[in-house]
């Protein structure tokens, strides 16, 4: 009778598959010990000590309102909401420049009314969210500091499965934590974290709080920004994801230059190649992006692409699926030219693609410019009556007036210096005793009118003029 050793494989904690392996199979297998050696250990230690100073802890505060108790929206973006409380979050960031620019995840600082940055040497700074991009889950935070240690960027396109990597961040509030592993996969998409996904997958343990931290190669170069984990338990199970450094760095540079991420646009709809479609389109491999529709006067049409074409290479790089092609085009500079290789009716062709900006993004930019002068001066601000509960939650020192509980990013009020937690005592020299009085004074204001607010900010009284445009 053959003896067997019982092995249990657990897949994501949901499915257990039992396998029986004959002992004779194992007996005939020669096990080769893996030797790391002092050189690898020394390099890991050197890399960790070099990178730890460029990774910071980020604590954010968000005002959360109970929507179940919200009244209907009132004109000009003014709301009355009886309940609001502070919610605290924690993440990580990477110092991108010696003068205090820090890259992190959008979800780490999204809607934050207060951001605290703690350096590896335990110095604390007030952080300002400069800009964010939800589509790549990238954000930039600025602190007032100089001569900071800054990250050395690596080329994420050179990463390969099996490369050693270190994940550095502040998981579960434990600052300056370093974990070690390998690159498990590259080009992961459809994870459900962001619109544009090209993730590096790693088995270096990543836990909540690591978001925004650094994924570095063995030379200490930042090759990714840690972003998410796949886990049925909420903790690390060895499946973590990081935004490639090339994508994260390009997003950061665009945010700093223009306040938004400018992306290239193919001007065509595409879909993945399935085994059956591969046979129908006479493809040598089950890979590529099938063109299903071409927009008039778009980049694809000008490059000569037609419905039914299958794009298989972009600048000599294999295109595995439609998501990868979308990412390659999105990251390409506007007006840059790229060589496409495609298969049409079983034959291979080449063409040149000139990258254009998405018409939708151009329209948004034009619309924002045209409507900036027609918004109510207090648009995007959430005001509320001061209740005893709200006064305790927000640590308010006064009980009359209305309190600012939220401000839309980019609004006139934010640009004028109004902050969540400010208590408005007067509007245009008129006393505010309640939200009803405030609404009666605010509603008649026209887009070009001045809203002169007298506010109490933690015991200090000051005027804040908000001039419509």
CATH of the domain at 105: 2.40.10.120
102 and 232, same domain (yes or no): yes
74 and 139, same domain (yes or no): yes
- For residue range 231-272, list pLDDT tens digits in order: 777 777 888 899 999 999 989 998 888 888 888 889 888 898
**For residue 269, how many other CB atoms are within 10 A of its CB?**
15
Lowest mean pLDDT among 20-24, 75-79, 404-408, 427-431: 20-24
Q: Please check the confidence at residue 439 and state whether its pLDDT lies above 60.
A: yes
180 and 129, same domain (yes or no): yes
| Catalytic option among 106, 107, 338, 376 | 107
Cα–Cα distance list, 109 to 59, 117, 128, 427, 457 (Å): 8, 11, 10, 31, 23
pLDDT at 68: 46
> Is 211 noted as a catalytic residue in this protein?
yes
The pLDDT of 178-195, averaged and rounded, is 84
CATH of the domain at 287: 2.30.42.10
| Catalytic option among 57, 60, 175, 211 | 211
98 and 127, same domain (yes or no): yes
89 and 161, same domain (yes or no): yes
Lowest mean pLDDT among 28-37, 235-244, 280-289: 28-37
User: Does residue 1 sit within a domain?
Assistant: no
pLDDT at 401: 86
The pLDDT of 213-225, averaged and rounded, is 94
308 and 392, same domain (yes or no): no
**For residue 152, how many other CB atoms are within 10 A of its CB?**
13
98 and 155, same domain (yes or no): yes
pLDDT at 237: 81
411 and 459, same domain (yes or no): yes
Question: What are the backbone angles phi and psi of residue 446, rounded to the nearest 5°?
Answer: -95, 165
Contact 105, 123 (CB under 8 A): no
| Closest-CA residue to 248 (of 92, 119, 94, 110) | 94
End-to-end CA distance of the chain: 89
Please, which contacts does 437-446 make with residues 24 or more away whose CB atoms are closer than 8 Å?
438/383, 438/402, 439/74, 439/78, 439/80, 442/76, 442/78, 442/378, 443/75, 443/76, 443/78, 445/76, 445/376, 445/377, 445/378
To the nearest whole number, what is the mean pLDDT of the chain? 81
In terms of residue numbers, what domain contains 329?
264-357
The confidence band for 179, taking pLDDT boundaries of 50, 70 and 90, is: very high
350 and 377, same domain (yes or no): no
CA-based angle 215:217:220, to the nearest 5?
90
Lowest mean pLDDT among 177-186, 209-218, 387-396, 442-451: 387-396
Q: Please check the confidence at residue 174 and state whether its pLDDT lies above 90.
A: no
Domain count, the chain: 3
245 and 271, same domain (yes or no): no
| Catalytic option among 60, 106, 133, 137 | 137
**For residue 429, how many other CB atoms are within 10 A of its CB?**
8
The confidence band for 449, taking pLDDT boundaries of 50, 70 and 90, is: confident
pLDDT at 393: 66
What is the pairing mode between strands 240-244 and 214-217? unpaired
Of 214, 230, 263, the position where a domain reaches its end is 263
pLDDT at 467: 83
Please give the Cα distance from 321 to 302 (Å, whole number).
22
Q: Please check the confidence at residue 56 and state whether its pLDDT lies above 60.
A: yes
269 and 246, same domain (yes or no): no
Contact 428, 451 (CB under 8 A): yes
User: Does residue 422 sit within a domain?
Assistant: yes
> Is 107 noted as a catalytic residue in this protein?
yes
% of the chain with per-residue pLDDT over 90 = 39
Q: Please check the confidence at residue 26 and state whether its pLDDT lies above 50.
A: no
208 and 274, same domain (yes or no): no
> Is 156 noted as a catalytic residue in this protein?
no
The pLDDT of 283-310, averaged and rounded, is 91
**For residue 396, how many other CB atoms are within 10 A of its CB?**
18
């Amino acid at each position: 009778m053959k003896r067997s050793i019982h092995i249990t494989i657990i897949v994501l904690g949901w499915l257990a598959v039992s396998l029986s392996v004959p002992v004779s199979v194992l007996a005939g297998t020669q096990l080769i010990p893996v030797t790391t050696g002092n050189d690898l250990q020394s390099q890991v230690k050197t890399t960790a000590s070099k990178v730890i100073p460029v990774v910071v802890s980020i604590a954010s505060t968000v005002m959360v309102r109970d929507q179940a108790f919200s009244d209907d929206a009132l004109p000009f973006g003014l709301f009355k909401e009886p309940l609001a409380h502070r919610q605290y979050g924690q993440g990580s960031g990477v110092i991108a420049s010696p003068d205090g620019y820090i890259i992190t995840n959008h979800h780490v600082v999204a809607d934050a009314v207060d951001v605290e940055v703690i350096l590896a040497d335990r110095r604390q700074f007030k952080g300002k969210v400069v800009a964010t991009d939800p589509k790549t889950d990238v954000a930039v935070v600025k602190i007032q500091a100089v001569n900071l240690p800054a990250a050395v960027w690596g080329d994420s396109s050179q990463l390969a499965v099996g490369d050693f990597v270190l994940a550095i961040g502040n998981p579960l509030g434990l600052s300056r934590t370093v974990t070690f592993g390998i690159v498990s996969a590259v080009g992961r998409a459809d994870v459900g974290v962001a619109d544009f996904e090209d993730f590096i997958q790693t088995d270096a343990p990543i836990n909540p709080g690591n978001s925004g931290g650094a994924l570095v190669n063995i030379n200490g170069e930042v090759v990714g920004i840690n972003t998410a984990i796949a886990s049925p338990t909420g903790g690390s199970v060895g499946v973590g994801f990081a935004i490639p450094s090339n994508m994260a760095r390009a997003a950061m540079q665009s945010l700093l230059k223009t306040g938004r991420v400018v992306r290239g646009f193919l001007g065509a709809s595409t879909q993945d190649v399935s085994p059956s479609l591969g046979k129908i389109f006479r493809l040598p491999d089950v890979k590529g992006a099938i063109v299903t529709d071409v927009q008039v006067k778009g980049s694809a049409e000008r490059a000569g692409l037609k419905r039914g074409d299958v794009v298989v290479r972009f600048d000599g790089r294999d295109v595995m699926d439609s998501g990868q092609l979308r990412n390659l085009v999105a990251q390409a500079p506007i007006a840059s030219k790229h060589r496409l290789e495609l298969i049409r009716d079983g034959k291979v062709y080449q063409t040149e693609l000139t990258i254009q900006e998405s018409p939708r993004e151009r329209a948004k930019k034009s619309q924002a410019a045209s409507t900036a002068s027609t918004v109510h001066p207090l648009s995007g601000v959430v005001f509320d009556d001061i209740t005893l509960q709200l006064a305790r939650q927000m640590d308010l020192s006064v009980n009359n007036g209305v309190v600012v509980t939220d401000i839309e990013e980019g609004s006139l009020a934010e640009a004028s210096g109004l902050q969540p937690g400010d208590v408005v005592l007067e509007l245009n020299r008129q006393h505010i005793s309640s939200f009803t009085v405030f609404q009666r004074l605010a509603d008649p204001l026209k887009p070009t009118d001045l809203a002169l607010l007298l506010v109490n900010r933690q015991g200090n009284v000051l005027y804040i003029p908000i001039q419509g445009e």
